[in-house]
Amino acid sequence: MPAAEARLERERRTVDAMIRLYCRDHHAGGPALCEGCEALRCYADARLTRCVFKAEKPTCAACPVHCYRPDMREQVKVVMRYAGPRMILSNPALAIRHMIDARREVPEIPRRRRRSESEKT
């Protein structure tokens, strides 16, 4: 798996683990996610898929691009504030990698290249 895909896949696993931990402790109580947490997980996955930074993606807390809708962003903040500190016990490898990623330098926002007249036809 190329590095870009591996980095985003690890980010997906981290967000998924955080949402599962939060849901288990607050809603469902079992291995399956409740409807609201499943919707949040799918939304977060879709946002990761469309991330402008790709493999250079910073952690969400350090990201200069707020790609989540305000309501979903608040939900993710609540989940991450709860699950973040608990991840070291439930999933130490992902938690440590996430802490390392949080120390990475935040890249500049990629600029879209405008198509020239010759490329439009």
Encode pLDDT of 46-62 as tens digits.
999 888 887 788 887 78
Q: CA 115 → CA 52, 74, 78, distances in Å?
A: 18, 36, 40
- Six token digits for residue 53: 């930074």
Global pTM value: 0.81
Q: CA 20 → CA 5, 42, 78, 118, distances in Å?
A: 22, 12, 13, 49
pLDDT at 3: 67
Which one, of 33, 17, 39, lies nearest residue 89 by Cα? Answer: 17
Cα distance between residue 51 and residue 121, in whole Å: 28
Encode pLDDT of 68-109 as tens digits.
999 999 999 999 999 999 999 999 999 999 888 888 887 787
